[in-house]
Copies of this chain bind each other. A is one copy, B any other.
């Protein structure tokens, strides 16, 4: 496996692979790889000839009060893990080359980014779509694999790709969880032992909501109220949002008449965690 740092070298290689008829896959990450990321790499490996894992802690998707400076970084460890999972290249560009001082361009997806994490993290998705568009241009992937934990991110990227006609197939791979249900996340590292136990409430509340829907509940407000009560009972929890939305438009649903995504963001202590669950509901029910 090889690590590429230079933008020009990455793009030249990618354009050459395309000319050679090779299929290219991209797994965009911010490093600090966990089993969730590794499942994306494995999934990508099955579909393409060359797997590129980008490792870039993207400054423009962090808010001024967020954890850009403290976000965990360990490129050597990431490279070892990525290689084991099947990566051929690590692309680890510098902040300076990705964003020179007179960088003034951006890619933005409107509407879909106004709710959920977009409401709590203004500018976040604009940072994500800008860097992903740039990574697509640099790596020229036929396939790019994203994780379902960032459900809104995957929906936003899909829409960007469709609207702007990027020739990239977007694959969204399922959330990888601990045995106890906690969704794998680089930010789980921030949690103390007690907080880690408390963080289980995210998934537990999602499964509880699912069971309510299975039991016939169709009022989103009632389901959210039950989830809120459940999460509020945990000492160090603070709800950022709980939403029940349409799987594609991400518009909030009031009365459930088809598939929905239940998505939430909850602070456990100082750490903001997200999780979501797609619940299939037969339209006739």
Interface residues of A (CB under 8 A from B): 7, 11, 15, 18-19, 21, 102-112, 129-130, 133-134, 137-138, 140, 159-160, 163-167, 249
Complex interface: chain B residues within 8 A of A167 (CB): 11, 15, 137, 140
- A130 neighbours in B (Cβ, 8 Å): 164
Question: Could you name 27 residue pairs across A and B whose Cβ atoms are closer than 8 Å?
Answer: A11-B165, A15-B167, A18-B18, A18-B19, A19-B19, A19-B21, A102-B111, A102-B249, A103-B163, A104-B109, A104-B111, A104-B112, A104-B159, A104-B163, A105-B109, A105-B129, A105-B159, A105-B164, A106-B107, A107-B107, A107-B133, A107-B164, A108-B108, A134-B164, A134-B165, A137-B165, A137-B167
Known: A7-B165, A167-B11, A167-B140. A108 touches B105 (CB 8 A): yes
Min distance, Cβ A40 to any Cβ of chain B, angstroms:
22
CA distance A175 to B148 in the complex (A): 50
User: CA A105 – CA B108 in complex, angstroms?
Assistant: 6
Taking a contact as CB atoms under 8 Å apart, the answer to whether A105 and B104 are in contact is no
CB neighbours of A166 from chain B (8 A): 137
Considering only CB atoms, which chain B residue lies closest to A165 in the complex?
A: B137
Q: CA separation between A222 and B211, bound complex, in Å?
A: 76
Bound: A11/B164 CA distance, A? 12
CA distance in complex: A110, B19 (Å) = 34
Q: How far is the CB of A163 from chain B (nearest CB, A)?
A: 4
Give every chain B residue within 8 A of A134 (Cβ-Cβ).
163-165
Q: Which 6 A-B pairs have the closest CB atoms?
A: A105-B163, A137-B165, A104-B110, A104-B111, A105-B109, A138-B165
Cα-based distance from A160 to B103 in the complex (angstroms)? 9
Specify which chain B residues have a CB less than 8 angstroms from the CB of A249 in the assembled complex. Answer: 102
